[in-house]
Amino acid sequence: MSETPSPASPRQTLTFLRERLAAEGIRPKNDLGQNFLIDINLLNMLADTAAVGPDDICLEVGTGTGSLTALLADRAAAVISVEVDPRMHRLAAGLLGNRPQVRLLLHDALQGKNRLHPGLLEALEQVRAEHPDKRLKLVANLPYHVATPLIGNLLALDRPPQTFTATLQREVAERLVARPGTRDYGALSVWVQSQGKAAIRRILPPQVFWPRPKVFSAIVHIEFRPALRARIPDLPSFHRFVRDLFLHRRKLLRAELAAVSGRRLEKAAVDRILADADLNPLCRAEELDVEDLIRLFSCFRAALQSCPPGSHTVDDAASSRLR
C-alpha cells in the first residue's frame, strides 16, 4: 500500500488568512507578535536564503498557519516548529495534516528571558539523535518580541544552529550588523559577531505582512563560525562581561572596567589590564571592535583569576561571574 501523500502547502495569502482565521473565530494578537508574512515569494526567499535541503533540520519559532512549516517540510529532513498560541497550533496541525517529518510544539520558545524552554531543548536533542548527520538551521518569521532573546540564547548553546535566517524588526537587524562607534552597536552586535557573520539580505515594508506592523522589517542571515567562537576562552562569562560593559556604553573604559569588577580593581591593576590588551584607557566600550573586546576579556579574566585567595580587590560575586 502506498503512503498517503502530504497535503498541499497552505498558501499564506491575505485572502487565505482572513477567510481561514475568520472561519476559526481567530483574531491575530498584537502581544504575541502575530504579523503573518503574506508575500509567497518572500516565504520562498527565507527558505532559499537558508539553503534548506535534505541534509537539514529546521527550527521554526512561530508556526502561525503552518505555511512556512510546510514549505520547509518539503525540503528538509525534519522540522521542529514552536507555537505559543493554542488556537494557531490547532489550526496549523489541521492544515499541515500527517507529515511525519514535522514536530509541532505548543509552548513558548523561551522560559523567561535568559533560557530556552526545556521542551524545545528536549525536542532538539531528540530530533538531532534521530538525524545525527544533519545540520540544524533556524528559519522563521520571528515574532518581534522574541527575536533578540531567542537568537541570544540559541547562540549560547553548545551546538547552536549552523545558520539563522529570519525576519526581524529592522531596528534589531541593524543592531546585529552594526559596527563600532555607531548608534546601533552594542552587546547584541558583539555577541553575534563574535561567533558568526551576519548580513541583512532584504528590507521588508509593512505591507508584506498582515496585520501590518508599524515598523519595517528585514530578512537577516547569520552564519555560525566555530573558528570564531574558539577564540573566546569562556563563552558564558564573555556574554555577561559584554552585557555589563555596555550598560554604560559611553563611560570611559577605565572607569567602566573597574565597575564591572564589582568592588573595583585597584587603579594600577585596571591600567595593567588595559596595557596588556593594548587599549587606550580613555576610550569607550562602544568604540571597541569584537577583536578588542575578546582581547580585553581575556586579560580581565586572567587578572581576576590571578588574584590571591582572600584578596579583597574584587568581590566574590564579580569574580565568580567571570570564571
Compute the distance between CA of residue 26 and CA of residue 54 in angstroms, rounded to an integer. 34
Q: How many angstroms separate the Cα of 132 from the Cα of each of 81, 126, 129, 135? A: 19, 10, 5, 8
Compute the distance between CA of residue 44 and CA of residue 57 in angstroms, rounded to an integer. 17
Q: 236-277, pLDDT tens digit by residue?
A: 999 999 999 999 888 899 888 888 887 557 888 899 999 999
Return the domain boundaries, the chain. Answer: 14-229, 235-321
For every one of its 323 residues, what pLDDT tens digit does the chain have, with 9 covering 90 and above? Answer: 344 445 555 567 888 889 989 999 999 998 888 999 999 999 999 999 999 999 999 999 999 999 999 999 999 999 999 999 999 999 999 999 999 999 999 999 999 888 999 999 999 999 999 999 999 999 999 999 999 999 999 999 999 999 999 999 999 999 999 999 999 999 999 999 999 999 999 999 999 999 999 999 999 999 999 999 999 999 999 999 999 999 988 889 988 888 888 755 788 889 999 999 999 989 999 999 999 999 999 999 998 887 654 444 333 444 444 44
User: What is the fold, at CATH topology level, of the domain defined by 14-229?
Assistant: Rossmann fold (3.40.50)
pTM score: 0.90
| Cell 496585520 belongs to residue | 211
Amino acid at 196: G
Per CATH, the homologous superfamily of domain 235-321 is rRNA adenine dimethylase, C-terminal domain (1.10.8.100)
Amino acid at 192: V
Task: Name the helix (H) or strand (E) containing 71.
Answer: helix 67-73
Q: 180-191, pLDDT tens digit by residue?
A: 999 999 999 999
